[in-house]
Amino acid sequence: MRWCVNNCICRFLYRHLPAVVLVSILIISANQVINFARDKSSPVCYKIVSPFAPKPGAVATKSSSSSAVVLAGGGENETDSILPNVEWTRARLDERRMLRIYEWTWPGTLWSSLMTSYNVCLATQGSIDRIPWIGEVSEKWLGPISLAVYVRNGDELWILSIFMSYMRRCSALFLQTVSVHVVVPAEFEVPDYANQSFYYDVMSDEHPCGQPHQYMSSLVVKFLQHEPVGLYPQNHMRNIARKNCPTPWVFMTDVDIIPRLNSSSMINTFYNSISSKCQKCAFVIPVFELDKSMPYPQTKKELASYASKGMARQFHLKIYKFGHWATNYTAWLSTNLQEESTKISHIVDSKVNHYEPFYVSSDDIPKHDERFVGYGFTRSSQVLEARVMGWKFFVLTPIFAIHWGLQTPQTIRSPSLPIPFHAMKYNIKAINQAKSSRRSQNLRNHVIYTDFVSELVARYNISVSRRKAQRKQVNPRQQ
């Protein structure tokens, strides 16, 4: 220890070795305790009490007691009991034979009674990486939800099926209010799960409730063995979700858009008011991006105060400003802050093109054109057609919805799921592909959009001067 003589830190350590060790142990164990506590206080907990009474003897009561995956059939390792009760040859095809559609794969247990008491249903869709949001959506919306999920291969179907068991075990609201429709590519073949033992690993899984995103990630890492291919057919999925909402009104969203608490009731009330009574009216619900460090706003006033601090802003402001520009967030943030009742804040300027709001309307608004596959022009083309047909858009207050996280071009490029394809060596490539593919999908859809606009002009006999104006506003950089 000669070299130690001149070094005071070293001398200190040498003399007080037992004390130093003891303090380190204390620090480490304190850390463990804190981490443990943090794990338990997860921000979303799917144990909230459903306001809907369960039907006597329904699965709801049984499902919340055990923490293991509850299998419908009760068989130990029967793949049948994880997969939905579906006869896979009984599919409906879409118009272009691209997809096979299985409606009501997992129906909400209270669906029939919700249909008699609600005037509005939330229609939403997503791929497996996004659907973990559905838990939070159902706990905020508190009404019927039609969810269309696209799975590209057998691994994804397996993952979805296990995830559904998890959600139906952990959330009474999900089980009661969400009806799930499954869509697969036309050439999809259901694998022989029973023959491949690695699928059984799930049997011992006991993932805690309230962590759907973590659970989905772990399922993807474990079970996504075959690389999925193909673009996401957004507009097909929107139409499927919409058409399974037989209420007078539909609120159409993407699955990561989280509506304000109890907005189904607020819209229900508005539906019964005088101002809702017009034939071609659509009612926009403004969507804000919210900084992840903030709690979900309880009131419009709270949201406005976040917005004034830059913690909340127009959805996609930094990605594609025009998409929601016409909603005029500035105007909205100044109306009805006292929340007297649900009413119209203002009318949307009909001259702003490329508008793609999330709105509530009756379902006789034009359907989403299914030629658009992948990113770009999927919603704005539909809104354009609606406007050409004479639909007017009004912004509702004080209802709003949020998207977690302020988005920039960088944030939307990184994939939201871990990429398990045997490893990191593909990781960078996959991200680059995601980046360029978003752009190329956009370009492809832009070509379709040009046709789409010409067809509208012809079909609705729009005068040439207006057509020129539309051409001028076409912007190929739409997201």
Ligand X SMILES: *[C@@H]1O[C@H](CO)[C@@H](O)[C@H](O)[C@H]1NC(C)=O
The residues that touch ligand X, with contacts defined as CB under 6 A, are: 51, 76-77, 192, 195, 200, 203, 262, 265, 328, 330-331, 349, 461, 463
Tokens at 383, concatenated: 């809104």
Minimum separation from the CB atom of position 162 to ligand X (A): 14
Angle in degrees, CA 103, 104, 110, rounded to 5 = 155
Minimum Å gap between C-beta 393 and ligand X is 13
Asked if 290 contacts 306 with a C-beta cutoff of 8 angstroms, the reply is yes
397 versus 441: smaller Cβ distance to ligand X: 397
Nearer to ligand X, 150 or 329 (CB): 329
Joined together, the tokens standing for residue 162 give 């296990």
Residues 6+ apart with CB under 8 A from 474: 353, 446, 449, 450, 453
Q: Cis link prior to 398 (omega < 30° from 0)?
A: yes
Q: How far is the CB of 18 from ligand X (least distance, A)?
A: 47
Q: How far is the CB of 20 from ligand X (least distance, A)?
A: 46
Residue with tokens 């699965």: 59
**Which is closer to ligand X, CB of 234 or CB of 342?**
342
- Of 121, 123, 117, 129, nearest to 156 (Cα)? 129
Q: C-beta of 283: minimal distance to ligand X in Å?
A: 18
Residue 129 CB, nearest distance to ligand X (Å)? 27
Task: Count the neighbouring beta carbons within 10 Å of the beta carbon of residue 12.
Answer: 13
Long-range Cβ pairs for the range 290-297 (8 Å, 24+): 290/402, 290/403, 290/404, 290/405, 290/406, 291/405, 291/406, 292/404, 292/405, 296/140, 296/258, 296/261, 296/402, 297/260, 297/400, 297/402
Side-chain-facing half-sphere of 347: CA atoms under 13 Å: 8
- Please state the closest distance from residue 453 (CB atom) to ligand X, in A: 17
The residue among 270 and 377 lying less far from ligand X, judged by its C-beta, is: 270
Q: Which two tokens stand for residue 467?
A: 């057509």
From the list 283, 287, 269, 393, the residue with the least C-alpha distance to 340 is: 269
Q: State the minimum distance, in angstroms, from the CB of residue 420 to ligand X.
A: 21
- Least distance from C-beta 462 to ligand X, angstroms? 8
Query: Shortest approach of ligand X to residue 98 CB, angstroms?
Result: 26
Nearer to ligand X, 71 or 216 (CB): 71
The residue (of 410 and 463) whose beta carbon lies closer to ligand X is 463
Which of residues 373 and 399 has its CB atom nearest to ligand X in the complex?
Answer: 399
Residue 437 CB, nearest approach to ligand X (Å): 32
Q: Which is nearer to ligand X, 248 or 418 (CB)?
A: 248
Burial class (CB in 10 A: 0-12, 13-18, 19+), 274: exposed
- CA atoms of 235 and 183, how far apart (whole Å): 12
Q: Toward ligand X, which CB reaches closer, 131 or 307?
A: 307
- CA distance linking residue 81 with residue 368, whole number of Å: 35
Nearer to ligand X, 183 or 333 (CB): 333
Phi, psi of 271 (to 5 degrees): -55, -35
Residue closer to ligand X by CB (options 414, 465) is 465
Contact residues for 220 (Cβ-Cβ < 8 A; gap 6+):
128, 129, 159, 417, 418, 420
DSSP 209-230: TT-HHHHHHHHHHHH--S---S
DSSP for 281-338, written as a single string: EEEE--EEEE-TTSPPPSSHHHHHHHHHTTSEEETTTTT-THHHHTT-HHHHTTS-TT
Closest to ligand X by CB, 82 or 419: 82
Shortest CB 316 distance to ligand X, Å: 16
For residue 142, what are its two tokens? 């508190």
Q: Which helix (H) or strand (E) holds 473?
A: helix 464-473
